[in-house]
């Protein structure tokens, strides 16, 4: 008797029993709380734009022209601005005015 071959589902329709990344149960390592003593506060682009009340495109124009606050690019490509750098940039603008 011939064996009937099962047809495989497309990859996006396959069922998986794996847990989402980062939810692996107790591995002995505990997540540390990030308090103020853990390092300098870093703002996202959205937080920075909300605080300065400017559009995101304006921030990127400032950044391209070299007129914005000093930024840090993370390994995943995200941009952060340290609170210390933002305060220094704002005080330099106030002195120049």
Q: Is the pLDDT of residue 36 over 70?
A: no
pLDDT attached to residue 8? 79
Q: Is the pLDDT of residue 89 over 60?
A: yes
Name which residue leads in pLDDT, 55 or 2.
55
In the structure encoding, which two tokens stand for residue 18, read together? 């794996």
> CB burial class (10 A; 0-12, 13-18, 19+) of residue 30?
exposed
Q: Is residue 23 part of a domain?
A: no
**Residue 57: which CATH number?**
1.10.1660
Domain that holds residue 49: 41-97
Supply the DSSP symbol for 55: -
Q: Is the pLDDT of residue 33 over 90?
A: no
Q: Is the pLDDT of residue 81 over 70?
A: yes
Q: Is residue 35 part of a domain?
A: no
Q: Is residue 36 part of a domain?
A: no
């Amino acid at each position: 008797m011939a064996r009937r071959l099962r047809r495989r589902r497309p990859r996006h329709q396959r069922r998986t029993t794996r847990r989402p990344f980062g939810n692996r149960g107790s591995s002995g390592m505990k997540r540390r709380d990030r308090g103020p003593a853990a390092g300098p506060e870093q703002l996202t682009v959205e937080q920075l734009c909300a605080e300065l009340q400017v559009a995101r495109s304006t921030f990127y124009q400032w950044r391209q022209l070299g007129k914005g606050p000093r930024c840090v690019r993370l390994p995943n490509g995200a941009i952060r601005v340290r609170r210390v750098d933002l305060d220094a940039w704002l005080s330099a603008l106030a002195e120049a005015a």
